[in-house]
Structure 1
């Protein structure tokens, strides 16, 4: 339970007030005049304003020292109100800059020496030492408290900023995953739906095949959406976008979802052929070639390659009808290359590439490609080809050491 600052100041003011009352009652036994009604009033006026010390540190300090000076000038025992004066100085030191604190510390020392002189003290060297030593010690403790408060506030601000950045990054990750899952499958469904509508009366068999493809593709899309939503709901599962070995949509393998159910693994290179077949069913001829010796790769790297190839083929479906696409996967020592090229279609050869396929600030797919390549320390080249059509070329390091050495994205 958090205590209100005013309550804390009230409890703090209670301590010097209690000490002042006890010392005031013993003033006569120490050889000082007993306190009368006006003297007790000054004791109250010196100590009770400390309740407001948090709201107006300097104002309370000046008021306390004014009442204390008047109390000393009337010939009362100076020690009675000295605790209140020191608490007031500590408050200024903990809340105000060093320059203001120095002036207040000098004022406390001055009143202390004045009290010694006015009372004809026989131990003036001791009084002067106290007038110098007490303010310096209080100043040091107040300064330490102020620095601690400033560092704590800075830490809270940094934590809040870090939390905002993490939320923003999580939103980007979720948006990228939704785009990758939905865009590809919807492109296939859209093409097949158009085909089925076109041949529904003239070629029922082709229409049925198109509808079957639509059902299969929509089922796969729903399965991937369930997998991603399950990961987002799962307690303690973070996105793998922070690294290839962390959980989440970019790297989770058999993570537990709600109710302890085992989630489906994220798509990897073993499902590349399945994805290519789906695009072929959408009406785009695709050739898939694999060179080098296939080997196990981190799940995050596999998903990165899968999503980039998926997005590239989706762009062919959407923007280059009639084009012939080629997917090439090359395993090399310490890295893997993936490229997706198309010829632009028979009617597009020699013409300018569809501007919708070019990288632009508002596009999510190409932005997602660049972010994934950068995340895993790879390079990606996206753009039109000299011989016509469009190409995407991705190179990813397959080891953490190599990933740290690379961090470039080009177009």
Structure 2
């Protein structure tokens, strides 16, 4: 209101100053002074006062100031510049509404005021005072539309920047959540596998400690080797959580199918009979697929070790089938189902859930369940090419 009141006062001063100038003059003089009549002064005061409310009711103010300009054109002789208030009101309408409204209001105001000036103004009808009404109303509408367009453009840029910022934050949160989930899966795979082996070998050592110390010593050596491997993989996984200023994290690559023989050897040393069949020789797997295949086999054999019984036998097959690689782990045990099948809330583990998440993340499929006649089956199909091939090795 304060700004609009100041604007109204400035417009009133301009109109009053303009009302004292006579563009026709007399005695051959182009410009001269004149004394405006009382009605013209009243119209100027009313038009300027209406501009103080131009932001609250722009169309009403435009209609009111336009009506005052018509009255001034019909009665004023010589005419006072009351149309200035209508031009400011037209600018306000154009800058606060849409373009179709601006076109309608601008054409209507321009036509009515210019027509009234030509009919009631000085002759000839194309005198500069009459054409000035046409020019000033057009300038007011055009300037208001330009201001409105610029405001809309700046607002669109601001909204786009805010939307991009929100998208970056959401993407960062999503990546953090995915990384936390991946680290959790890695920790589970490492701990479940190696601790299961340590538990088995420690039990063997305790059982034969008195009667067969040599075998107990060999079991303890396996315990030490399994614990060393667990510590190494834990150190590599936890190294991902270091800050930029921390000491350099381990750079040992994540395991893959090239280390399958080492993995199987650890289970065989723990007493599990494992047979391996592979037809994927010469196949180069993407890093993410290679790690996922290794972890699936590791988790499946760990479940066999823990739940299939001491006399169980496991079979591992790695087969390349077209654009996919198929991982199958079978056992003939009669023990309980792997804890990954149980709901987490019932105290079950998360082994099968972690395997399914790994495979699904690579757009593969995982099938698990009991076998006909006893035992358990884990079957994973992983894509060798496509999206998985473009992903880097995690960690």
TM-score class, shorter-chain normalisation, is 0.5 to 0.7
Unaligned runs of 5+ in 2: 22-34, 73-79, 122-128, 391-395
Q: Does structure 1 conserve the Cα–Cα contact (< 8 Å) formed by 2:367 and 2:380?
A: yes
Q: Does structure 2 conserve the Cα–Cα contact (< 8 Å) formed by 1:113 and 1:131?
A: no
Q: Which residue of 2 aligns with 1:253?
A: none
Q: Which residue of 1 aligns with 2:353?
A: 367
- Shifted more, 312-321 versus 290-299: the winner is 290-299
Q: Which residue of 2 aligns with 1:395?
A: 381
Unaligned runs of 5+ in 1: 1-9, 51-57, 236-256, 405-411
Match of 1:354 among 334, 337, 357: 337
* CA distance 1:69–1:361, change in 2 (3 Å): farther
Q: Which residue of 2 aligns with 1:287?
A: 275
* CA distance 1:258–1:328, change in 2 (3 Å): farther
Q: Which residue of 1 aligns with 2:130?
A: 122
The answer as to 2:189 corresponding to 1:188 is no
Q: Which residue of 2 aligns with 1:407?
A: none
Q: Does structure 2 conserve the Cα–Cα contact (< 8 Å) formed by 1:305 and 1:338?
A: yes
CA RMSD of aligned residues (A): 4.9
Q: Does structure 1 conserve the Cα–Cα contact (< 8 Å) formed by 2:328 and 2:380?
A: yes
In structure 1, what is the Cα distance between the partners aligned to 2:339 and 2:10?
84
Q: Does structure 2 conserve the Cα–Cα contact (< 8 Å) formed by 1:340 and 1:391?
A: yes
* CA distance 1:335–1:226, change in 2 (3 Å): same
Q: Which residue of 2 aligns with 1:223?
A: 232
Q: Does structure 2 conserve the Cα–Cα contact (< 8 Å) formed by 1:113 and 1:128?
A: no
In structure 2, what is the Cα distance between the partners aligned to 1:402 and 1:168?
19
In structure 2, what is the Cα distance between the partners aligned to 1:44 and 1:193?
96
In structure 1, what is the Cα distance between the partners aligned to 2:374 and 2:363?
29
The answer as to 2:147 corresponding to 1:159 is no
In structure 2, what is the Cα distance between the partners aligned to 1:43 and 1:295?
85
1:9-408 map, 5 Å: 24=13, 28=17, 31=20, 59=56, 79=84, 86=91, 90=95, 92-93=96-97, 122-123=130-131, 124-130=133-139, 132-201=141-210, 203-233=212-242, 263-291=251-279, 293-322=281-310, 323-331=312-320, 334-345=323-334, 348=335, 353-354=336-337, 356-358=339-341, 364-400=350-386
In structure 1, what is the Cα distance between the partners aligned to 2:160 and 2:144?
24
What TM-score do the two structures reach when normalised by structure 2? 0.65
In structure 2, what is the Cα distance between the partners aligned to 1:173 and 1:67?
70
Q: Does structure 2 conserve the Cα–Cα contact (< 8 Å) formed by 1:334 and 1:402?
A: no
* CA distance 1:144–1:277, change in 2 (3 Å): same
* CA distance 1:71–1:263, change in 2 (3 Å): farther
Query: Cα offset for 1:319?
Result: 1.9
Query: Cα offset for 1:27?
Result: 6.3
In structure 2, what is the Cα distance between the partners aligned to 1:223 and 1:67?
84
In structure 2, what is the Cα distance between the partners aligned to 1:374 and 1:368?
10
Task: Provide the aligned length of Structure 1 versus Structure 2.
Answer: 349
Give the secondary-structure state (helix, strand or coil) at the position aligned to 1:341: strand
Q: Which residue of 2 aligns with 1:3?
A: none
Which has the larger Rg?
A: 2
* CA distance 1:401–1:113, change in 2 (3 Å): closer
Q: Does structure 2 conserve the Cα–Cα contact (< 8 Å) formed by 1:195 and 1:210?
A: yes
